[in-house]
Amino acid sequence: MTDAYVVGVDMIKFGRFPEKTVPQIGSEAIMMALDDCGMTIHDIQALYSGNLGQASGMVGQRILHEIGQTGIPVINVSNACATGATAFREAWASIKAGLYDCVLAVGVEQMGRGLLGGAGGGTGISKEGLLGSGTMPAVFAEAGMEHSNKYGTTFEQFAKVSVKNHHHSTMNSKAMYQIETPLETVMNAEMISYPNTKLMCSVNVDGSAAAVICSEKKTRELGLMGRAIKVRASILASDPWQERDLVMPDVNSCTRKAAKEAYEMAGLGAEDIDLIELHDCFATAEILHYDNLGLCEDGGAGRLIDDGDVALGGRIPVNVSGGLLSKGHPLGATGIANIYEVSTHLRGEAGARQVEGARIGLTHVIGLGSACGIHILEKA
């Protein structure tokens, strides 16, 4: 089986673009990714297009209507917050299977503002605020407080995640925000669902990211091996049965399963990873994933943030892009945007936020319901 390489990858600066259409936003990242490797849409044999908001709207085809109707197969993908990672993985799988030797994956989202989630209607009356809360900040607050219950993790430790990621984003011009948020600012911001304050919730933004993936042979033929990124592992997992998963959507066992399989596929361990972009949809979530991805022994996550191990310059920098908390979280685009971030470091092109000497990186996303996507990438 051939290896698969990312040869072109890019993302637009995340922001709010109500005047644009979803296909227009998606097209921008595609053109940038094609430029990154000197290709045109006529070089592409299949398009894997991830989007949630218009999941039944044939977004991939509408993108081709914008940039070139070459008649290639289009696969529209929707898989909650793992949508972009799933589109990338499907593209990867088509190269591994030998179906194609040059394909494109794109993730795009145009978001509204405000709260996501909420206990659904169904029969009769709204259950929100009656049978607890189904809002995302509350769901992830409960997931964080489960960690507090088990390991004594504190509000302050959760808040430090947000301080770190906002700091990282000051070095990333493609992030939605470039502002420092000191600890007291984070902790004293409007409380949304304790322990998540407003600055501990990811930012709803519009955005897109795209990647061109080629077989090893094609990458060599095109002379693109110099900046190519090898995909060492691509894993997707759904939520295995857990005793509380009827009331607590699973983000933990799903991530653990995917991480174990990804390390196995790559023949690597957590200690071999130089940087990580993980799913900090809320500050509480990032803490859980230090444990879940094996960056420390179970329960060691609080100490990791206290000691600065996960900050730029630390032992294993996490979310140096600014993460979903500050770069922003355009749901369907996030999975490919974090592949862009890790690839940029592996290429040594990340400027002020460069993780020095980065050779291997890991990306992680999780969509509630649940779907976890993990990729391990290495400089070719």
Partner 1 sequence: MSEQPLPVVDYMKIPDDGDPYLEGHKCGECDAIFLGERNICSKCGTRDRMGTIKLSTQGSLYSYAIVHRSFPGVEVPYISAVVDLDDGATLKGNLIKVDPDPEKINFGMPVEVIFADALGRKDRDGNSYLSYFFQPRA
Q: Which residues bind partner 1 (CB under 8 A)?
A: 115, 118, 123-133, 135, 137-139, 141-143, 145-146, 148-149, 155, 190-196, 241, 243-244, 246-248
Instruction: Please list the residues that pair with 379 across neighbouring strands.
Output: 229
Cα–Cα distance, 208 to 271 (Å, whole number): 31
Maximum separation of any 2 CA atoms in the chain, in Å: 62
Q: Is 102 labeled as catalytic in the residue annotation?
A: no
Query: Cβ neighbours of residue 2 under 8 Å, at least 6 residues apart?
Result: 95, 96, 98, 215, 216, 217
| Smaller CB separation from partner 1, 230 or 329 | 329
From residue 236, alpha-carbon distances to 65, 86, 267, 335 in Å are 30, 7, 17, 12
Indicate the residue among 72 and 145 with the shorter CB distance to partner 1: 145
Per the residue annotation, which of 166, 329, 364, 375 is the catalytic one? 329
Residues 6 or more apart whose Cβ sits within 8 Å of residue 174: 11, 12, 13, 14, 321, 327
Angle formed at CA 307 by CA 304 and CA 311, multiple of 5 degrees: 75
- Identify which of 327, 250, 328 has the alpha carbon closest to the alpha carbon of residue 289: 250
Query: Does 296 qualify as catalytic in the annotation?
Result: no
Nearest approach, Cβ of residue 190 and partner 1 (Å): 7
> Computed from CA positions of residues 357, 2, 222, 42, in that sequence, does the dihedral angle turn out positive or negative?
negative
Rounded least distance, CB 196 to partner 1, Å: 8
Nearer to partner 1, 220 or 244 (CB): 244
d(CA 285, CA 364): 12
Q: Which candidate in 81, 102, 214, 296 is catalytic? A: 81
Give 19 or 243: the residue with its C-beta nearer to partner 1: 243
Say if residue 223 is exposed, middle or buried (CB neighbours under 10 Å; 0-12, 13-18, 19+): exposed
Least distance in Å: CB of 283 to partner 1? Answer: 13
Residue 20: phi, psi to the nearest 5?
A: -105, 160
| Cβ closest to partner 1, residue 51 vs residue 135 | 135
Least distance CB 65 / partner 1 (angstroms): 37
Q: How far is the CB of 79 from partner 1 (least distance, A)?
A: 19
Q: How far apart are CA 89 and CA 83, in angstroms?
A: 10
Distance CA 328, CA 316 (A): 22
Q: Which letter does DSSP use for residue 222 in this model?
A: T
Q: Give whichever of 43 and 146 is closer to partner 1, judged by the CB atom.
A: 146
CB of 300 to partner 1, least distance (A): 19
Q: Which residues are catalytic, by number?
A: 81, 329
